[in-house]
Structure 1
Amino acid sequence: MEFNTERLTIRPFMNEDLDDVFNIYSDQETCRYLLHEPWTHDNKQEKFTKKLTNHSLTQNQALSVAVVNEGRVIGDLSVWYTDMKDTVEIGYTFSQNASGKGFATEALKGLLEKLFAEYKVHRIQATLDARNEASGRLCERVGMRKEAHFVQDYWNKGEWTDSIVYGMLAGDLNKE
């Protein structure tokens, strides 16, 4: 998957993206609500190689794409099929330096449009740590609706956490 928005290029990861991606995932605050600890110099190549191999979305393989602005990777979008027919889940991570500039909203809107138009998915959902208020606001900005709040349903990083599920259908895409 590759496409452009007004300010961004969304494309598969390339070998030369390693340092930019490491800068995103080695940040403690960025990883606070993710399911993994920050990347280290010892594991960065192994973790990055997984992103390189996830270059197409199939029923058996997730897709990871780079969000590029002015030649630098500022974010990561991921998509994978769930066990439900024609349903995908999305994940996203952006550099702290990209925060507050509308890049995440722009990238996610473009991704949602592509998934509905080209992959003909029925439903797109995002599951996030309930404490990640910025992520919830992003979901709402792109037209997703909060559908569920599960209390202490997920064990992560040594604690029980709440999960929130956002979802949308193709008809929700352009509602204001």
Structure 2
Amino acid sequence: MIFTTERLEIRPFTEKDLHATFEMNSKPEVCRYLLHEPWTTENVETEFRKKRDQRTLSEKSALSLAVLHQQKVIGDLTVWYTGMKETVEIGYCFSDSHSGKGYATEAVSGLLGELFTKLNLHRVQANLDARNVASQKLCERVGMRKEAHFIKDYWSKQEWTDSMVYAMLHEEFVNKMDEKCEWEKR
């Protein structure tokens, strides 16, 4: 999957993305709510290879995409099937040096468009650490709705954490696009 938005290029990772991806994933503040610890010089090759090799979305494999602004990786998007018919989960991570500029909203909105229009999915969901307020706000900005808040349901980084599920159905995406078109006509 390759696509562009107004300011971003989204594509599978290549070897030239290693340094910027390491820079982003080695920061504790970026990885705080992710499932992995910050990358180190000892594991960067292994971790990057995993990301680089996730090039095709299928029932058995995830898809990992680099988000580039001006030819530099500023984030990543990951998509995987959940096991439920026509349903995927998305994950995302963005560099703290590029926060507050709308890049995450632009990239995730573009991803939702690709998933719903090209793959004709029924549902896209995001499962996130409930402490990650920025991620909650991102989900809401792109039109996803909060479906659940689970209390201490996930063991992560040596502690029980709450999680939240946000989701969007195909028909909600279509309605959102129709509303956008109507608003732009005015």
For normalisation by structure 1, the TM-score amounts to 0.98
Deviation at 1:52, TM superposition (A): 1.1
Task: Show the counterpart of 2:167.
Answer: 167
Distance 1:53 1:39 in 2: 17
Note if contact 2:59-2:83 (Cα within 8 Å) is conserved in structure 1.
Answer: no
Task: Show the counterpart of 1:82.
Answer: 82
User: Which 5+ residue runs of structure 1 have no aligned equivalent?
Assistant: none
Task: Show the counterpart of 1:56.
Answer: 56
For normalisation by structure 2, the TM-score amounts to 0.93
Task: Show the counterpart of 2:20.
Answer: 20
The count of residues paired between Structure 1 and Structure 2 equals: 176
Give the structure with the larger helix fraction: 2
Aligned-residue identity in percent? 59
Deviation at 1:172, TM superposition (A): 1.8
What pairs up with 1:143-154 in 2 under 5 angstroms? 143-154=143-154
Distance 1:55 1:68 in 2: 16
Note if contact 2:154-2:162 (Cα within 8 Å) is conserved in structure 1.
Answer: yes
SS where residue 84 of structure 1 aligns?
Answer: coil
SS where residue 166 of structure 1 aligns?
Answer: strand
SS where residue 143 of structure 2 aligns?
Answer: coil
Per-residue CA deviation, residues 22-73 of structure 1 (Å, 9 max, x unaligned), is 0110000000001110000000010000111101111100000000000100
What pairs up with 1:4-153 in 2 under 5 angstroms? 4-153=4-153
Deviation at 1:171, TM superposition (A): 2.1
Counterpart of 2:145, as a letter, is R
Q: Which runs of 4+ in 1 moved over 2 A?
A: none
User: Which 5+ residue runs of structure 2 have no aligned equivalent?
Assistant: 181-186
Counterpart of 2:8, as a letter, is L
